[in-house]
């Protein structure tokens, strides 16, 4: 079960690319609601694993509740904790609490956002992070701004440089989600379905204890599906979905519709177009560039029989997955 818990709506930064906007409310999750939220997740999971992501705003603005939460889940072996933070208000006590829960086995990734005004530094920034010793890099392209032909051409050029660098460094343990995270979507033949957002397997709890299907729609009253006291009201989700679905098949003739993010992330579509199943033209242009470079990298690694790539490929074959030709 996946749950996102907002410790804070507020943030100490004003990143222009933030899909939550820059005018954030100064709301912090109370300790009472924190305890209730954890208990709600545990009851819903009924002993199964819980992947709990702490989010905001900036979650560590709610420092005292974060520390209480870490104490509360310390002995809960079925609760896996992750946190998305800008890292500007980190301190030794926070780190000690994380180490105490995770027993020093802490996975870490640096997240970077590639925007129009920074795209010319995309390749250099990845290499910079790698030289700092960071091998897991989540590079997200800002899909919430309009990319013109010039900025798209720069993105394409930067990707070409990154392709070759990644191919030459893959055996050093580098992981870049724009390559590694898209492999299954692109080479595995399977029916594309939207994620399970809004079900008992994936939901969001905001700083007021209100339930939403996805972090993209937190604070949108159209997508309130309950609270930690009443639980998920399935009919609310069904009604909201009915009201935000276009009565047509989206992108039926597109050459990448079998792996495009718009065929899997309905709430990203909603954020961009107002409809769950209607893709955004800007997103389409970005996806075509990303997928083109992914295919090039996968093909090169396959033809070179790269050991790491082939381990994944052979695993998929062994477990009965039908794969697309590379």
CA nearest neighbour of 12 among 53, 59, 54: 59
**13: alpha, beta or left, given left = phi > 0 and alpha = psi -120 to 50?**
beta
Largest CA distance in the chain: 56
Show contacts of 41-45: CB within 8 Å, 24+ apart. 41/1, 41/3, 41/79, 42/76, 42/79, 44/1, 44/200, 44/231, 45/1, 45/78
The pTM of this model reads 0.92
Strand ordering across the sheet containing 79-83 = 79-83, 50-55, 2-6, 202-205, 210-212, 226-227, 231-232
Res 250: pLDDT: 60
Residues lower than pLDDT 50 in the chain: none
Number of Cβ within a 10 Å radius of residue 294: 22
Name the β-bridge partners of 112.
139
Contact 113, 140 (CB under 8 A): yes
- CA torsion, ordered 249, 252, 254, 256, to nearest 10 deg: 80
Instruction: Check residue 123 and give its pLDDT.
Output: 98
| Beta bridge mates, 175 | 136
Rounded Cα distance between 213 and 276, Å, is 12
Q: Where are the beta strands (DSSP E) in 162-286?
A: 175-176, 202-205, 210-212, 226-227, 231-232
pLDDT at 249: 61
CA–CA separation, 4 and 140 (whole Å): 19
Between CA 165 and CA 175 the distance in angstroms is 12
- Asked if 8 and 66 touch (Cβ cutoff 8 Å), the reply is no
Six token digits for residue 57: 């705003």
d(CA 183, CA 3): 24
Amino acid 240: pLDDT: 96
């Amino acid at each position: 079960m996946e749950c996102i818990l907002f410790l804070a709506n507020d943030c100490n930064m004003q990143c222009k690319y933030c899909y939550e906007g820059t005018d954030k409310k100064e709301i912090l999750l109370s300790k009472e609601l924190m305890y209730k939220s954890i208990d709600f997740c545990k009851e819903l999971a009924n002993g199964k694993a819980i992947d709990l992501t702490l989010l905001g705003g900036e979650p560590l603005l709610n420092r005292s509740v974060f520390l209480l939460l870490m104490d509360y889940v310390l002995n809960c072996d079925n609760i896996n904790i992750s946190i998305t933070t800008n890292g500007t208000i980190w301190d030794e006590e926070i780190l000690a609490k994380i180490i105490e829960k995770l027993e020093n086995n802490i996975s870490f990734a640096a997240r970077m956002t590639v925007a129009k005004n920074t795209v010319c530094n995309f390749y250099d920034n990845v290499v910079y992070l790698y030289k700092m010793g960071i091998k897991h890099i989540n590079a997200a392209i800002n899909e919430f701004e309009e990319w013109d032909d010039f900025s798209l051409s720069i993105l394409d050029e930067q990707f070409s440089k990154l392709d070759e660098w990644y191919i030459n460094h893959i055996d050093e343990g580098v992981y870049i989600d724009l390559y590694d995270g898209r492999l299954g979507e692109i080479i595995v033949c399977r029916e594309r379905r939207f994620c399970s957002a809004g079900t008992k397997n994936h939901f969001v709890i905001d700083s007021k204890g209100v339930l939403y299907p996805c972090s993209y729609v937190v604070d949108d009253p159209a997508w309130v599906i309950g609270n930690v006291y009443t639980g998920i009201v399935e009919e609310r989700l069904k009604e909201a979905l009915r009201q935000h679905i276009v009565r047509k098949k989206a992108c039926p003739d597109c050459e990448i519709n079998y792996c495009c993010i718009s065929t899997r992330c309905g709430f990203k579509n909603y954020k961009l177009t107002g409809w769950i199943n209607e893709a955004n033209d800007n997103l389409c242009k970005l996806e075509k560039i990303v997928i083109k470079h992914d295919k090039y990298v996968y093909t090169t690694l396959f033809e070179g029989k790269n050991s790491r790539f082939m381990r994944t490929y052979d695993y998929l074959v062994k477990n009965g997955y039908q794969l697309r030709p590379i």
